[in-house]
Amino acid sequence: MPHLSIQYSPQLDQSHDIRALCEQLGEVMVETGVFPRAGVRVRAFPAHHEFVADGHPDNAFVAMQAYVGAGRSLEDKQGAGSAIYAVAEAFFADRLAGGHFLLSFEIFENDPALSWKRNTILPRLKAAADSG
């Protein structure tokens, strides 16, 4: 963990490199020192069917949700959240300067009793770091 999911208006694909956004967000997640690289996942999904606010055709949105494992302090989560949000704000600065854009971000903490996972990437990265 963390897993960051992004839902967004599909017209943003015409004006913004969403893959680059995913990469930038993934990097800042690691740079915060709160999240291990092997656990970071960033994925984005265009909302092919949407209605935003008043239905104006120029309206667009980006809704980001991060799911994190339990055990981090509130301060760590808030600091990481602020850093992640700042990257998204900078990425969409042009859209935020207009009157047709919504940007949101929330962090949710998973209950370990209700979370199942298996990660084979972590041992591989650890072995590579130990040998090199």
Which positions are annotated as active-site residues?
2
The residues with which 105 forms a beta bridge, in sequence order, are 64
Residue 23 and residue 71: Cα distance in Å, rounded?
Answer: 25
List, in sequence order, the alpha helices (H) in 51-99: 74-91, 93-96
Token pair, residue 74, equals: 């509130």
- 123: CB partners within 8 A, 6+ apart: none
Is-contact 127 57, C-beta < 8 A? no
Residue 122 and residue 106: Cα distance in Å, rounded?
Answer: 25
